[in-house]
Amino acid sequence: MTYQEEFITFMVRSGVLTFGDFTTKSGRKTPYFINTGNYKTGAQAAKLGDYYAACIQANLPDGVDCLFGPAYKGIPLAVTAAASLYRSYNRDLPYCFNRKEAKDHGEGGSMVGYKPQNGDRVVIVEDVVTAGTAVRESLELFKTLGDMKVTALIVSVDRMERGTRDCSTLDELRADHGIAVYPIVTVKEIISFLHNRPIDGRVYIDDAMKARMEAYLAEHGAKA
Which is nearest to 123 in space by CA: 180, 85, 175? 180
Q: Are 83 and 143 in contact (CB under 8 A)?
A: no
Read off the DSSP letter of residue 73.
Answer: T
Q: How far apart are CA 125 and CA 36, in angstroms?
A: 13
Which residues are known to be catalytic?
Answer: 103, 105
Angle at 183 between CA 182 and CA 189, to 5 degrees: 130
DSSP β-ladder status, 198-199 and 109-113:
unpaired
Radius of gyration of the chain (CA): 18
CA–CA dist 203, 76 (Å, integer): 31
In terms of Cα–Cα distance, which of 4, 12, 96, 5 is closest to 54? 4
